[in-house]
Amino acid sequence: MTRHVAVLEGDGIGPEVARAAVQVMQAAVGDPAALEVGWHPFGWSAYEAGGEAFPDATRAACLAADAVFFGAVGAPGTLPPEVPRPERALLELRASLGTWANLRPVRPHPALLDASPLRRERVLGTDILFVRELTGGLYFGPKESHPDRASDTAEYSVGEIERVIRQAADLARGRSGRLTSVDKANVLATSRLWRQTTDRVIAEDYPDITLEHVLVDAMAMHLIARPATFDVVVTSNLFGDILTDEAAMLTGSLGMLPSASVGDGERGLYEPVHGTAPDIAGRGIANPYGAMRSMVWMLRLSLGLSEAADRLDQALDDAVAAGSHTPDLGGRATTADVVRDVLARLDER
């Protein structure tokens, strides 16, 4: 059976890491007939070419695919008010695919403990899986913009909260059985609903799960002070976006973090956590590990190719252990160097 993957390179370093990730994914699978990869315009580059950041043809291709890979999105510099932000296209993509839970693992590689700005003893043993609600909250609520004021409204329903809490609790069952829910219930009404719903769902259906609630400002502190004490962390869209960027520093670089966005079906959206990095775009030094590790998740969760996922996962670990580090990690490897090193380790296997 041929699996169909839609690739949206996007902007900045997006095309560089996307091409690198597709190359190693195809090598891990081995069988050219097993995968059909289609490349589609998306983001600022698509807007410049055709006036739409998320063209209808790209939307149709994503909905027809078994999985979607996305690189990065963003416009260089400041846009005039009449030009729509291309980042809105990513929100539309997530909504179109119905991917309401974003999984972001944070597991520092032993060879990169000294690449983190924190002392290695603080980072050692960290293995966190963030579950971020992805299609609700402040990013998707009603907005107003006027010359003298603006507003963004955060909205959550019980159903939106329930499904992401269940996703996180199911994942916690397969790990240590510990779940941390992050909110701002001392101030926000949406967070109070979040906490009430979480308490009820865990009490009724997950009595084996150990649940703790942590306020988001305290969580920002604890991620630096004691990251190894957390396992599965579930939180809202905005809080998850911010906290996982902070947690990326535990791994040494934002370029190391992958993500998988999932919903009710098997089709998912896979992307590195980083942005477009316009300061290094086109220089060939972008860190492709987050994009490549996102492909591991794609192979495993959407394409049903777990053996290829395992091969690629191990090859990535081996390449990092051997010192194939891009400049953001303190090394000198180029993007192409990392691709060659990962391919060589796949050949060995």
| Full pLDDT tens readout for the chain, 349 residues | 899 999 999 999 999 999 999 999 999 999 999 999 999 999 999 999 999 999 999 999 999 999 999 999 999 877 887 788 899 999 999 999 999 999 999 999 999 999 999 999 999 999 999 999 999 999 999 999 999 999 999 999 999 999 999 999 999 999 999 999 999 999 999 999 999 999 999 999 999 999 999 999 999 999 999 999 999 999 999 999 999 999 999 999 999 999 999 999 999 999 999 999 999 999 999 999 999 999 999 999 999 999 999 999 999 999 999 999 999 999 999 999 999 999 999 998 7
Active-site annotation holds for 245: yes
Q: What confidence score (pLDDT) does residue 80 get? A: 82
Out of 47, 66, 139, 183, the active site residue is: 139
Out of 152, 199, 231, 245, the active site residue is: 245
From residue 129, how far is each of 155, 232, 244 by CA, in Å?
24, 5, 10
Active-site annotation holds for 270: no
Q: What confidence score (pLDDT) does residue 348 get? A: 87
With vertex at residue 86, the alpha carbon angle to CA 85 and CA 91, rounded to the nearest 5 degrees, is 100
> DSSP secondary structure string, 292-338?
HHHHHHHHHHTS--HHHHHHHHHHHHHHHHTT---GGGT----HHHH
Class of domain 117-251: alpha beta
**Structural tokens at position 35:** 């995968």
Active-site annotation holds for 139: yes
Out of 11, 184, 328, 341, the active site residue is: 184
Same fold yes or no, 1-102+253-349 and 117-251: yes
Task: Output the CATH code of domain 1-102+253-349.
Answer: 3.40.718.10
Q: Which of 4, 14, 1 is nearest to 63 (CA)?
A: 4
Active-site annotation holds for 217: yes
The continuous run of DSSP H or E covering 57 comes out as helix 56-64
Could you tell me the pTM of the whole model? 0.94
Q: Which amino acid is at 63?
A: L
With vertex at residue 81, the alpha carbon angle to CA 79 and CA 87, rounded to the nearest 5 degrees, is 55
- Going from N- to C-terminal start, the domains of the chain cover 1-102+253-349, 117-251
Is 126 in contact with 228 (CB distance < 8 Å)? Answer: yes
Out of 66, 183, 241, 313, the active site residue is: 241
Q: Give dist(CA 88, CA 54) in Å, integer.
A: 9
